[in-house]
Structure 1
């Protein structure tokens, strides 16, 4: 079963209070699950990876064997796809965890889109951050 997973992470300040948002949908676009979580103090990039990891975890729990991940972080998408190296030492464990999680799917894609095309996951992040204020 293929699932489409929209993920986003953000921090107010960099680093600062951070949150993640995940929207899991079927291939037909029907939303199966939404998640928003505060993750404490983190950078934007850490939050993006944490959102990716939660999205993959939820897709697996919902029975996916194929996943299409959509995010608005070109950096994370290009790192996971092997187009960019992971230079920052603190990011390497998150990258390794993401690639290991992706390896558990028969097929996967990760792509970045403009923020407007990831609006629901972005709204979940902001709602979680607003609850912290």
Structure 2
């Protein structure tokens, strides 16, 4: 099973934001993505990072995936398939659509201390804005 680590960050809240996506293929072919997101909140960046990771799964036809996030907000929204905040609903709708298209995909919360690769990529992406 492919393992993907994601993180979103912003410099300010809102402010310049970035997504970090680390695809651990268990080999020398690991992928590192630092994607500038423009101006948004930290939580929006977290949702955007998950949406991008799921889009990568679809585009690359990765059907068995474990996605790790250090955002409890994102993890719980996906698990409940609901978010109270209107700002996050478009992200969540896209995420659920992409998630439903996967054969086997898990979203798992992990502590930020074990998500360093994605965290560094998200911070690097902010600097690209």
TM-score (normalised: structure 2): 0.91
Query: How far 1:58 moved relative to its partner?
Result: 1.5
- Is 1:107 the counterpart of 2:104? The answer is yes
Q: Can you give the 5+ residue segments of structure 1 that lack an aligned partner in the other structure?
A: none
Q: How large is the RMSD of aligned CA atoms in angstroms?
A: 1.5
Matched, 1:91 2:55: no
Question: Any runs of at least 4 consecutive aligned residues in structure 1 with deviations exceeding 4 A, and if so which?
Answer: none
Structure-2 change in CA distance of 1:46 and 1:93 (3 Å): same
TM-score (normalised: structure 1) = 0.89
Equivalent pairs, count: 128
Residue deviations 1:13-69, cap 9 Å, x none? 11111000101123xx33532111111100111100110011111222232111111
Structure 1 residue aligned with 2:40: 42
**Counterpart Cα distance in 2 of 1:45 and 1:12:** 12
For the pair 1:16 / 2:9, whether they are aligned, the reply is no
How far 1:126 sits from its partner (Å)? 1.1
